[in-house]
Chains A and B, each alone.
Chain A
Amino acid sequence: MKKSMKKLLSVTMAIAMVASLTACGGKSNGTATTESKTESPKASGEGSFKIGGIGPITGSTAIYGQAVMNGAELAIKEINAGGGIGGAQIEYNFQDDEGDTEKAVNAYNTLKDWGMQVLMGTVTSAPCIAVGAESSNDNMFQLTPSGSAVDCTKFENQFRVCFSDPNQGSASAQYIGENKLATKVAVIYDSSDVYSTGIHDKFISEAGTQGVEIVADEAFTADNNTNFSVQLQKAQDSGAELVFLPIYYSQAALILAQAKQMGYETSFFGCDGLDGLLNVENFDKTLAENVMLLTPFAADAKDELTQKFVASYKEKYKETPNQFAADAYDAIYAIKAASEKAAVTPDMDASAICDGLKKAMTEISINGLTGENMKWTADGEPDKAPKAIKIVNGVYTAM
């Protein structure tokens, strides 16, 4: 029995090997480009930019990956319809990383086999750092829409559209301090998450200088993220006027529900991770009433650009875009602007394009969904102002 099993396995193995090797022989996009792509004018043959994207399409952070995938796709469709980048069309290929570092590197390599010239990704921080080491090695231009950890822009080929974690932490502290929202603040954060601890650490150190007192500093972990009774009780006992939640929306939805269960009424303040709160299925939107969050994008903003984006996004994907979709949309337009500035052409290799874009990124200024006159510094950080949003009557409203 063992023998026959072994034979069976060897055969499977051999098939796998052969399959992989045939896949290597040049046409590696046969199995790879299943996720999503835009209709690219392959017939014309000469010159189209190949932009790759990486993010979680499945797993616990899938909602962000999907938003980024869609947002970027929308931007690429628009650009292609309007004549492309300097006359060249864009081909787009988005790969899943499940929010895992190892899978992200695999996804990156898959995209490289496809012939990627510019990388828009990854969506979450830890994979972004891992992919960054690879992309800097290859000198591949990388623009992450939402990788917010400090090390996401460690190398000079890396840029980002969103704010960095410490930036969000200090901006939140400043906002609370300057607008006198509260003097006693409790913090509940996910100590097993890179994003959450990044904001938390900076917020704590910045709060003191803003006249904000941290009266309770409570953590939870990814394995124990459903029962918040203790953390909320401590926040309540400490007399906090405001609870700061530098966490993702799924836990925030739970915290709001449990606060209501225990009859704890206070105000909540969060960062861009809370975006998506109103999209949780079956979520009681009244719970989120008056929750404030610091995010650069609000779907109900009155400017023309946002309204156009929201309308076409809703039409295509049947849901209201969140900040991640907007980040990705801006990322693609930033790549377009930088490409045109540097006058790169699709026949250049990834490294040459990267050299051009690196320099051009610091010279461009774009009016995007997530900020007006966005500029970038050479270390990859965007220069834009954060906006505070409040949830009123179940919709995001600018404050």
Chain B
Amino acid sequence: MMSFISYFINGLSLGSVYAIIALGYTMVYGIAKMLNFAHGDVIMIGGYMVFTVVSTMGLGPVAGVLLAVILCTVLGVVIEGVAYRPLRMASPLAVLITAIGVSYLLQNIALLVFGSNPKSFTSVVTIPALKLANGKLTISGETIVTIISCVVIMICLTTFIKKTKAGQAMLAVSEDKGAAQLMGINVDGTIALTFAIGSALAAVAGALLCSAYPTLTPYTGSMPGIKAFVAAVFGGIGSIPGALIGGLLLGIIENLSKAYISSQLSDAIVFGVLIVVLLVKPTGILGKKISEKV
């Protein structure tokens, strides 16, 4: 029983990271209607930034995370402006292939700058582990911080969208770009803002991901990125609570199937779940049905 709780909490922690990454996917998809394949690699860039600041320059973890957030925000906006904006009206296939190109570009830049050898990441979390039930159950500091950050981010983001003008603009753009523009909303600006927020979250996710699983390579972001996209689709793409639910469920499913079914097939199971969900309810758990216009 103790081990079940432990698997569950570790799954929750993994799921929280997926959820934060999935937020970036789901917001961008909801507003720009595109799959930002490069999102996972922004996480990796964030991770390297924290690593450089903390381990090479010797500044504190808070400074590291802050600088990473700033860098990734800028990076996100630049990527959107240079690579995606010219293709705003083009076919989805073209946009997706461009995004794949950006993903490869980021990976290979990191490869050239930092090399392919893995780097050991110094955790940004300094909270000691929590010992429960006479030491039978240990919850690491990283797990606690990850779960708390996820909840805090979720609350802030929901408030932002509900209460602020910019948030309302986002909602409007995601409903109908043309109508939003007619209402005087700056569509390009709103999309850029979405990318900025998504990328800032990616930087946070990068710091948390690398703290919990302390290694850093140019490919660190790609698998978690794909799984987080699965989570976003799982929860219903475009929906913020959906990203939370999808992320958490995915993390828990992954960890439990690793523990009780097969540690070799856990990825296959995660992807299998995605396929089943899409077939049964193609819009995900919380997604809404979009009727197609002729």
A residues 211-238 in Cβ contact with B at 8 Å = 218-221, 223-224, 226-227, 229-231, 233-234, 237
Query: Is A257 part of the contact surface with B, judged by Cβ < 8 Å?
Result: yes
* Docked pose: A60 CA to B55 CA in angstroms: 22
B264 touches A281 (CB 8 A): no
- Beta-carbon contact of B120 and A253 below 8 Å: yes
Which residues does chain A contribute within 8 Å of B258, judged by CB atoms? Answer: 224, 230-231
Question: Is residue B215 contacting chain A, with contact meaning CB distance below 8 A?
Answer: yes
Q: Which of B106-157 contact A (CB under 8 A)?
A: 116-123, 129, 131, 135, 138, 140-142
Decide if B122 touches A224 in the complex (CB within 8 Å): no
Complex Cα distance, B220 from A237, in Å, reads: 29
Which residue on chain A has the smallest CB distance to residue B10? A229
User: If A234-B259, A261-B129 touch, does A254 touch B213 (CB 8 Å cutoff)?
Assistant: yes
Is B14 in contact with A280, judged by CB distance below 8 angstroms? no
A59 close to chain B: CB less than 8 A = yes
Q: Is B37 interfacial (CB-CB < 8 Å)?
A: no
How many residue pairs between the two chains, A and B, have CB atoms under 8 Å in the bound complex?
95
Question: Chain B interface secondary structure, helix, strand, loop or mixed?
Answer: mixed
- A221 and B213 within 8 A (CB): no
- Do B120 and A227 touch (CB < 8 A)? no
Per-position 1/0 for A49-77, Cβ under 8 A of B = 00000000011101100000000000000
Contacts of A220 on B, CB cut-off 8 Å?
263-264
- Please determine whether A62 and B263 come into contact, CB atoms closer than 8 angstroms: no
Q: How many residues of B contact A (CB 8 A)?
A: 36
A221 lies within 8 A of B264 (CB)? yes
Complex: A263 Cα to B259 Cα, angstroms:
19
Complex CA gap A294/B120 in Å reads 23
In angstroms, Cα B142 to Cα A254, docked, is 14
A221-B267, A227-B14, A230-B7 as given contacts; A284 in contact with B120, CB under 8 Å: yes
| A317 at the binding interface (Cβ < 8 Å) | no
Nearest B residue to A220 via CB reads B263
Nearest Cβ distance between residue A160 and chain B, in whole angstroms? 25
Measured CB to CB, the nearest residue on chain A to B117 is: A63
Instruction: Give every chain A residue within 8 A of B120 (Cβ-Cβ).
Output: 253, 257, 280-284
Q: Kindly state the interface size class of chain A when it binds its partner.
A: 20 to 34
Task: List the B side residues contacting A227 at CB < 8 Å.
Answer: 10, 14, 212-213, 255
A109–B131 Cα gap in the complex (Å)?
59
- On chain A, the residues within 8 Å of B73 by CB distance are none
Q: A63-B117, A250-B118 are in contact. Are A261 and B142 (CB under 8 A)?
A: yes
A110 to B123, CA, bound (A): 44
Known contacts A254-B214, A281-B119, A281-B120: A224-B259 contact under CB 8 Å: no
Contact B213 A262 (CB under 8 A): no
Specify which of A224, A263, A280 lies most central, judged by the most chain B CB atoms within 10 Å of its CB.
A224
Report the minimal beta-carbon distance from A317 to chain B, rounded to whole angstroms.
14
Contact of B138 among A224, A237, A257, A263 (CB under 8 A): A263
Contact call A224/B223, Cβ cutoff below 8 A: yes
State A191–B265 Cα separation when bound (angstroms). Answer: 10
Q: How far is the CA of A212 from the CA of B123 in the complex (A)?
A: 36
Give residues of chain B (3-51) contacting chain A, Cβ–Cβ below 8 Å.
3, 6-7, 10, 14, 51
Q: Are A253 and B259 touching (Cβ within 8 A)?
A: no
B118 lies within 8 A of A233 (CB): no
Is there contact, CB below 8 Å, between B7 and A233?
Answer: yes
Q: How far is it, in angstroms, between the C-alpha of A17 and the C-alpha of B98 when the chains are bound? A: 29
For the complex, give the distance between the alpha carbons of A230 and B258 in Å.
Answer: 7
Q: Does A258 contact B (CB under 8 A)?
A: yes
Query: What 1/0 flags go to A254-266 for Cβ under 8 Å of B?
Result: 1001100111000
Q: Which residues of B contact A221 (CB under 8 A)?
A: 264, 267
Nearest Cβ on chain A to B37's Cβ, whole angstroms: 17
Is B266 at the interface (CB under 8 A from chain A)? yes
* Cβ contacts under 8 Å, A258 to chain B: 213-214
CA–CA, A58 and B217, complex, Å: 13
Contacts of B51 in A (CB 8 A): 282
Q: Residue-by-residue, is B238-264 near A (CB-CB < 8 Å gives 1, otherwise 0)?
A: 000000000000000001001100011
Contacts of B214 in A (CB 8 A): 254, 257-258
The answer to whether A223 touches B129, judged by C-beta atoms less than 8 angstroms apart, is no
A257 neighbours in B (Cβ, 8 Å): 120, 214
Min distance, Cβ A259 to any Cβ of chain B, angstroms: 11
Cα A257 to Cα B122 with chains together (Å): 10
B119 close to A280 (CB less than 8 A):
yes
Residue of B119, B120, B255 with most chain A CB atoms under a 10 A cut-off: B120
In whole angstroms, what is the CA distance A59 to B123 when docked? 25
Q: CB within 8 A of B263: which of A63, A230, A281, A282? A: A230
Ranked nearest first, the 9 interchain pairs of A and B with the lowest CB-CB distance are A226-B213, A283-B120, A229-B10, A261-B140, A250-B118, A263-B138, A230-B258, A281-B119, A282-B120
Which residues from chain A sit less than 8 Å from chain B, CB to CB? 58-60, 62-63, 191-192, 218-221, 223-224, 226-227, 229-231, 233-234, 237, 250, 253-254, 257-258, 261-263, 280-284
A-B contact pairs, 29 of them (CB 8 A): A60-B116, A60-B217, A219-B263, A220-B264, A221-B264, A221-B267, A224-B223, A226-B220, A230-B10, A230-B255, A233-B3, A233-B7, A234-B3, A237-B3, A253-B215, A254-B214, A257-B120, A257-B214, A258-B214, A261-B129, A261-B140, A262-B140, A280-B119, A282-B51, A282-B55, A282-B121, A282-B122, A283-B120, A284-B122
Given contacts A224-B263, A227-B213, A282-B122, 11 further A-B contacts (CB under 8 A): A62-B116, A63-B117, A230-B10, A230-B259, A231-B258, A261-B141, A263-B135, A263-B138, A263-B140, A282-B51, A284-B122
Residues of B within 8 A of A (CB): 3, 6-7, 10, 14, 51, 55, 116-123, 129, 131, 135, 138, 140-142, 212-215, 217, 220, 223, 255, 258-259, 263-264, 266-267
